[in-house]
Structure 1
Amino acid sequence: MSKLFFNERKTLVSDAIDGLIYSNQHNNLTRLNIDEHIRVVIRKDWDKSKVAIISGGGSGHEPAHAGFVGEGMLTAAVCGDVFASPSVEAVLNAIIYVTGEAGCLLIVKNYTGDRLNFGLAAEKAKKLGLKVEMVIVNDDISIENSKKPRGIAGTVFVHKVAGYYAQQNASLEEVTRAAELCNENVSSIGVAVSSCHVPGEESEDRIPANKAELGIGIHGEPGIAVIDIDNCNDVVELMAEKLLAKTNKQKYALLLNNLGGTSPLEMSLLTKDVVESSLGQDMTYLFGPKPYVTAIDMKGFSLSCVVLTEEIEKALMAPVAVESWADAIKVNDATPVTIEKVSDSVEFTASQSAEVEQIVEQVCATVISLKTELNRLDALVGDGDTGSTFSSGALKVQQELLDKNLPLADMQLLFEVVGEKLAMSMGGSSGILLSIFFTAAGTHYGQHQNLAEALLNGLEQMKFFGGAKVGDRTMIDALEPALIALKNEGLAAAVVAAKSGAESTAQMLEAKAGRSSYLNSESLEGVKDPGAVAVEKVFEIFK
């Protein structure tokens, strides 16, 4: 089964190109319409008066290369199939279409297919009288003393430098020299915890859990070493040491590249680790974090370091009109604002009231005694823990009562303290909902000194934040009619209303809140909601 979104494999690249053109923020891209096998993205505003800059290669590295077509960078990108070089014919047609008297520079990554196909196309174009040069990017330093270093994300730096000098009307020789200078000063290395998926192919991840491959290739080629990833900053520091060895303590910029499948959360963490690493401490500019050169959905990242000569720095800082470039930044100051912690604990002095103490004790004892019955009911319509949850809250309040640690003589504070204790002891949504109920009731009581209205206000807040209402088969089906009756008719009427409301839930064949909402009507029929039963039994105390 495919792990990627696509229609048909043979149209994947063309479909993706059209998507880029549709959504390109500068509206400056189009593509050549020659035949279905030739896929070339070009600038719509190109006039052939300057040196043309062409790059390309296999697709699957998006946004490279088409995402860097536009004023100040590439003139055209030639797109092959996934991880396959474009044909000689495709490259040649691109060269012919965009190249004027100023000539053309091809920028290719150091892979055999790209070297050969772009190289042969260049020779054919020269035979037609066009001036063409080629720079081969080889920035991958993972394989020490490699005779054929691969081209990876540092290629984007070369695009930027060449594009800048072409935009300044430099000659082909000057543009080529600037691109070669940048190439000589770029070093890159990547790491991944999983390889990529290729469209239409089954792929098995060879990288063990809790391990990463250092130096993995952008086509999924094996890395140079399998390393532990217990701490990301250790991985970053290992890469930093290798890159720093290439800078010779010169001024440099750093590019943090998402290889395609790394989440924004992880990239932000990696940015922190990079900035705080030995490499980040002395860097002049940071590019990213973002995808520049990917390996489809590879879960990994790469670092590219470029030594900044005066010519390179000027080119990298220049504005462009391309889809996927991100301007350099100086690392921001991340010093937090230090403030005094605001405590949400209710401050109170314990006080006594024999009448209130008796009521609180009766309520707690009743809820505790219902533990088994409420769990039984909840096992029929939920996950079987309502009794345990309610009981834990009641036990906490009961213990505070025994310790004489409640403000019994101050109704506002009592409600607020009970709300706080329930949130701490009950857990789950029930504890928070009841905490909201008592906290809001306490605030309202302190302002208006009316118990029934305060409790109704607490109910309204609980309904607002919890989202349930009468008819949804919750404790509110008993609590709301009871509190309305308490306000309008008195306590005796509230007892009757609570019982009636709880009994109504047994006839409700659809729950619209809580875990019962996932059950069918047959499971609910004839079973009271356990929360509503708890409310019913508490009000029965006052018969």
Structure 2
Amino acid sequence: MAELIINQKETWVSDSIDGMLYTQRKGNLVKLDFKNDIQVIARKDWQKDKVAIICGGGSGHEPAHAGYVGKGMLTAAVCGNLFAAPSVDAVLNAIVHITGEKGCLVIIKNYTGDRLNFGLACEKAKEMGLDVELVVVNDDISIPDNPKPRGIAGTLFVEKIAGYYAEQGAALSVVKAAAERAIQETASIGIALTSCSLPEDKSDSRIAVGKAELGLGIHGEPGIETIDLMQCNELVALMADKLLTARPSQRHALMINNLGGLSPIEMNVVAKAAMESELGKYTTCIVGPAALMTAIDMKGFSLSLLRLDDELTAALVAECDTEAWPGVIEAQTIALQPCENQARKVEYTPSQNVTIGQTVNAVCQVLIGLESELNRLDAIVGDGDTGSTFAAGAKKVLAELEQRNLPLDEPSVLLTVIGEKLTTVMGGSSGVLLSIFFTAAGRALSRSDNVAEAFQAGLARMMEYGGAKQGDRTMIDALYPAFMVLGSGSITDAAEAAKQGAESTATMLKAKAGRSSYLNSDSLNGTKDPGAYAVECVFDSLKNIVK
């Protein structure tokens, strides 16, 4: 299991609650101090003039439930220890402290500990003369015909509906009826690739790599089945079918909940899949995607639907003043604005030139032949793909050459075309840098017939945009001296300069650009920069072709 950021296991929950209070945006939450271990978060502005709404349970599901305390939703949240129901005394004290003449509705999820502890606290409160009612959320539909379905993320729909009616000043009986109706109209199901991490638990995840567990609980309880990991749209389609079978719908709200461990990019993919599934056809409004009711760091998500009518819609979309409720958004379609592609390709007529053709062929053949060696060098000082990247570009240009599809007799156009071809096949920064070089060199050559000056101009732009210079342990350490010599000397002199430049990189113990800049001197010592070595070999191959 993953490591956790923690002080002590015993203080993890209280530390988390305090951290939330220190950073609350609205300033409307208060921790009730009973001079003991009871953890209750309540509305600071509560006047006991309306029906109070309490929810709670074991911690580890943040922001639930303290994050939903505020005007228009919960009056208080009773926080138990990690995945453990709060004590009877904690619940009872919360009820007594916040309940006024209009009474209190307690909302719990359908787990044995919650039913027992909250239930007993409600009975004790009634004996004390308080008007208290309790509803149990059982929205998990993953296990067919389960007599005691679990309560999961759909609980938030119930809290929002009940909180709305309470804020309108409705009687306790009306608030309870609204909550029960929301429970009846809600269905949820979750899926995950891993279970959740627990403090001091070093055991491996029970969910194997390449598998997913459908219907697992928010405490890491096993799901109904383990399935092969599918594409996201297939996972969502499976869940949508189960949800719509359980709650056939013509209009509903959809909650897209991150169980704690998914990245924003993954949750956006889930949202797209959900809106393009059968669920999306009937979705009129959305809550999320967001971490709404988590299972610590569980890598998974849940979907909840609430079947709507006008009254439930009004209750759901009404404003509330809480830390974590993200609000309800109207279901959208993707807005597309037609645009003309302004990145025009170079227009040219293929032409032939024997000498230039031989030069292009020689360069391509050298880079293709160096693929394995450059990858070996790059595995030492980088990420091991320089050879493959250079070879991909060379193969593309060579294929165009063999098809007689290059403007060989127009050198300036040829350089620009090569720059364009490289961007389509070379990944990473190398492809872009070389494309910048060839494009700028081609533009310079179109204004002058001096090849050396054109290459120097291309290198200048490459250095400007890439941020590297001579001495930074890159291909520039070979290119720069070679092009400088080429301006006044022969190709043989340029090849010797490139060789010396490449050899100098083997003694440079600190790279200042590229992935090598993250490595220590031990990894670099004695190893040539792969890009510089490629330049050395290219110039060496041209000594007998270019005069």
Question: TM > 0.5 between the two?
Answer: yes
1:249 to partner: Cα distance: 4.3
Match of 2:536 among 525, 533, 538: 533
Q: In 2, Cα distance between the equivalents of 1:530 and 1:4?
A: 44
Deviations 1:60-117 (A, max 9, x none): 1111101101111011111001110001111122122222222221111111211121
Q: Which residue of 2 aligns with 1:60?
A: 60
TM-score normalised to the size of structure 2?
A: 0.85
Give the 5 Å matches for 1:68-467.
Answer: 68-249=68-249, 251-334=251-334, 336-339=336-339, 345-352=345-352, 357-358=354-355, 361-362=358-359, 365=362, 368=365, 405-422=405-422, 430-446=430-446, 451-467=451-467
The C-alpha deviation readout for 1:324-356, integer Å capped at 9, x for no partner, is 212222221125445566676432113456xxx
Contact conserved, 2:55 with 2:78, CA < 8 A, in 1? yes
Q: Which moved more, 1:492-501 or 1:174-183?
A: 492-501
Matches within 5 A, 1:508-527: 508-513=508-513, 518=519, 520=521, 524-525=525-526
- Whether the 8 Å CA contact 2:213–2:226 is kept in 1: the answer is yes
Deviation at 1:163, TM superposition (A): 0.9
Secondary structure of the equivalent of 1:510? coil
Query: Structure 1, residues 273-319: CA drift from partner, whole Å, max 9, x if none?
Result: 22222232123222222222222222222222222243322211100
What is the match of residue 45 of structure 1? 45
What SS does the aligned partner of 1:459 have? helix
Contact 2:368 2:394 in 1 (8 A): no
Q: Is the deviation greater in 476-485 or in 13-22?
A: 476-485
Between 150-159 and 275-284, the greater mean CA deviation after superposition: 275-284
Q: What does residue range 443-522 of structure 1 map to in structure 2 within 5 Å?
A: 443-446=443-446, 451-484=451-484, 495=494, 501-502=501-502, 504-505=504-505, 507-513=507-513, 518=519, 520=521
Evaluate the alpha carbon distance shift between residue 409 and residue 26 of structure 1 in structure 2; reply closer, same or farther with a 3 A threshold. Answer: same
Between the aligned partners of 1:275 and 1:502, the Cα distance in structure 2 is 54
- Label 1:231 to 1:99 Cα distance change in 2 as closer, same or farther (>3 A): same
The residue identity in structure 1 corresponding to 2:187 is: S
Letter in 1 for 2:318: A
User: Partners in 2 of 1:251 and 1:374 — Cα distance?
Assistant: 58
Give yes or no for contact 1:261–1:297 (8 Å, CA) kept in 2: yes
The answer to whether the 8 A contact 2:357-2:408 is kept is: no
- Range 199-208 or range 390-399, more displaced: 390-399
The one-character-per-residue Cα deviations of 1:182-202 (angstroms, maximum 9, x if unpaired) are 222222222333222222224
Alpha-carbon spacing, 1:501–1:255, altered in 2? closer, same or farther (3 Å):
closer
Q: Distance in 2 between matches of 1:406 and 1:307?
A: 62
- Summarize the Cα distance change of 1:396–1:71 in structure 2 as closer, same or farther, 3 Å threshold: closer
Offset at residue 480 of structure 1 (A): 2.4
**Which residue identity lines up with residue 533 of structure 2 in the other structure?**
P
The whole-number CA distance in structure 1 between the counterparts of 2:249 and 2:367 is 73
Distance in 2 separating the partners of 1:135 and 1:498: 79
Secondary structure of the 2:193 match is strand
Structure 2 residues without counterparts, runs of 5 or longer: none
Q: 1:161 to 1:388 in 2, by over 3 A?
A: closer
> CA 1:294–1:498 in structure 2 vs 1: closer, same or farther (change >3 Å)?
closer
Structure 1 residue identity aligned to 2:461: Q
* Structure 1 stretch displaced more, 89-98 or 27-36: 27-36
Q: Is 516-525 or 409-418 further displaced after alignment?
A: 516-525
Quote the residue 1:26 is aligned against: 26
Q: 1:39 to 1:339 in 2, by over 3 A?
A: same
Q: Which amino acid aligns with 2:211?
A: K
Distance change (3 Å), C-alpha of 1:514 and 1:162? closer
Distance 1:47 1:399, change over 3 A: closer
Deviations 1:187-229 (CA, angstroms, capped at 9, x unpaired): 2222333222222224443334443333222222222233344
| 8 Å CA contact retained: 2:350, 2:405 | yes
- Secondary structure of residue in 1 paired with 2:330: coil
Please, which moves more after superposition, 491-500 or 228-237?
Answer: 491-500
Q: Is the 8 A contact 1:13 1:82 kept in 2?
A: yes
Which moves more between the two structures, 126-135 or 382-391? Answer: 382-391
How many angstroms does 1:443 deviate by? Answer: 2.4
Distance 1:176 1:252 in 2: 21
Cα distance 1:343–1:156, how it changes in 2: closer, same or farther (>3 A)?
Answer: same
Structure 1 distance, partners of 2:417, 2:242, is 58
- 1:234-277 deviation digits (Å, cap 9, x = unpaired): 44333333332444545322222222223333322222222222
CA contact (8 A) 2:491 2:542 kept: no
What is the CA-CA distance between 1:471 and the residue it aligns to?
0.7
| Aligned amino acid, residue 303 of structure 1 | L
Q: Could you tell which deviates more after superposition, 360-369 or 148-157?
A: 360-369
Q: Which AA in structure 1 matches 2:536?
A: V
- SS of residue paired to 2:226: strand
- Tell me the amino acid that sits aligned with residue 520 of structure 1: S
Q: CA separation in 1, counterparts of 2:258 and 2:293?
A: 8
1:530 maps to amino acid: Y
Greater Cα shift, 312-321 or 125-134: 125-134
Distance in 2 (alpha carbons) for counterparts of 1:95 and 1:285: 33
Distance 1:298 1:392 in 2: 40
Q: Tell me the distance in 2 between the aligned counterparts of 1:522 and 1:283.
A: 55
CA RMSD of aligned residues (A): 3.6
SS of match in other structure, 2:464: helix
| Segment of structure 1 superposing worse, 364-373 or 475-484 | 364-373
**Contact persistence 1:377–1:527 (CA under 8 A):** no
**Would you say the 8 A contact 1:381–1:523 is kept in 2?**
no
Q: Shift of residue 374 of structure 1?
A: 10
2:214/2:225 contact within 8 Å kept: yes
Distance in 2, matches of 1:292 and 1:393, equals 47
Deviation at residue 363 of structure 1 after TM alignment: 7.0
CA separation in 2, counterparts of 1:367 and 1:484? Answer: 23
- Aligned in 2, Cα 1:40/1:470: closer, same or farther, shift over 3 Å? same
Shift of 1:513: 3.9
Q: 1:9 to 1:387 in 2, by over 3 A?
A: closer
Residues in 2 aligned to 1:525 and 1:414: alpha-carbon distance in whole angstroms: 37
Fraction of identical pairs, as percent: 53
